[in-house]
Structure 1
């Protein structure tokens, strides 16, 4: 009995996610994904017009998962907004640490550009949630100020996530990543 098309499509995406977790983005050859999914090496082409479109579908699941993890602390109204932003930033860094291969793939535009998936639109809700929280933390700031602060926060936290994931902080005797994240949030909010 064969799978329904969406079943095979989902299996291919799941297989890619598993390969990422085990071996990182370099393991995402079409044949490897097909083998892991238990389908013929030609099957992916029936569901994804290009290898990049399959990679983009895999990355989209990671972007969705990251948005869910970051949105949860941002939505917790029982915590002051600065605390929510710190918790969200820590969730971002934690995601990058736990799902390093996925995190790397999600931002590999050299692999994903032209894939036919609108990954930027997938990440837009995450930025909008972050922006609303930054606006709440900085009442009276202009829209441009809030946008700038939001992008400063994202780049700071993303950089921390990459450097932490690549163990660069080990070169300086390790750093307290939690304190670094909290400092980054505080510095951005003092615009």
Structure 2
């Protein structure tokens, strides 16, 4: 079991993560975070200039976790896996993270609650796009998948599809409309719509 952080910022960040997991985004008040960290109500503002800065630090943690989960999924692919198979693994990891951490996933894209000037959040979130999904898309294009498409726009389209699928599934709208009993069925339909069929490394 990891020992709790001794630095005040770390304690507040851990407290915010706990509040988020238990009470959702709407529960992330400075009072609730301070109470969870067992500090005075004004203590958070001694270490973060405003609530948005603290929530941005929380969201940054989420993007780091999402990136790590995607890398782990790709690393678990067989050594002879095709680039398309690695991209499929990355896409599945994205949806899996969203469904496993719905409150964090919501916060990560609640730009009305985050600090738009937070450089670390911008750096980490962009890295999730560039070094995560875009890198996998680029590899797949090199092997022949949608070679004529702009890589960043193609990545954005796939990302939009995965984001929408995850949110609509969490809201209950997608299973209601499609009758899908399992999110994997909906995800497989999305991947096939992009031409990301589960094929062997040799292309058969």
My pick for the range that moved more, 73-82 or 144-153, is: 73-82
The 1:97–1:181 alpha-carbon spacing in structure 2 relative to 1, beyond 3 Å, is: same
User: 1:113 deviation in Å?
Assistant: 3.6
The 1:117–1:53 alpha-carbon spacing in structure 2 relative to 1, beyond 3 Å, is: farther
Runs (5+) with no aligned partner, structure 2? 197-204
The 1:185–1:120 alpha-carbon spacing in structure 2 relative to 1, beyond 3 Å, is: farther
Query: Are the counterparts in 1 of residues 180 and 186 from structure 2 also a CA contact under 8 Å?
Result: no
Query: Are the counterparts in 2 of residues 163 and 169 from structure 1 also a CA contact under 8 Å?
Result: yes
The answer as to 2:193 corresponding to 1:187 is yes
Counterpart of 1:84 in structure 2 is 86
1:165 to 141, 161, 170: 170
- Map 1:39-188 to 2 at 5 A: 39-75=39-75, 76=77, 78=79, 79-114=81-116, 116-128=118-130, 129-139=132-142, 141=147, 145-172=150-177, 173-188=179-194
Aligned residues: 185
The 1:51–1:22 alpha-carbon spacing in structure 2 relative to 1, beyond 3 Å, is: same
My pick for the range that moved more, 96-105 or 181-190, is: 181-190
User: 1:77 deviation in Å?
Assistant: 5.9
The 1:150–1:77 alpha-carbon spacing in structure 2 relative to 1, beyond 3 Å, is: farther
RMSD of equivalent CA atoms:
2.1
Helix, strand or coil for the counterpart of 1:170? helix
What per-residue deviation string (whole Å, max 9, x for no partner) do you get for residues 48-95 of structure 1?
011110111111111110111012223446232222222221211111
Query: Are the counterparts in 2 of residues 71 and 126 from structure 1 also a CA contact under 8 Å?
Result: no
The 1:169–1:175 alpha-carbon spacing in structure 2 relative to 1, beyond 3 Å, is: farther
Matched residues in 1 for 2:7 and 2:111: separation?
Answer: 27
User: 1:163 deviation in Å?
Assistant: 0.9
Normalising by structure 1, report the TM-score.
0.87
Query: Are the counterparts in 2 of residues 13 and 54 from structure 1 also a CA contact under 8 Å?
Result: yes
User: 1:155 deviation in Å?
Assistant: 0.7
User: 1:116 deviation in Å?
Assistant: 3.1
My pick for the range that moved more, 55-64 or 173-182, is: 173-182
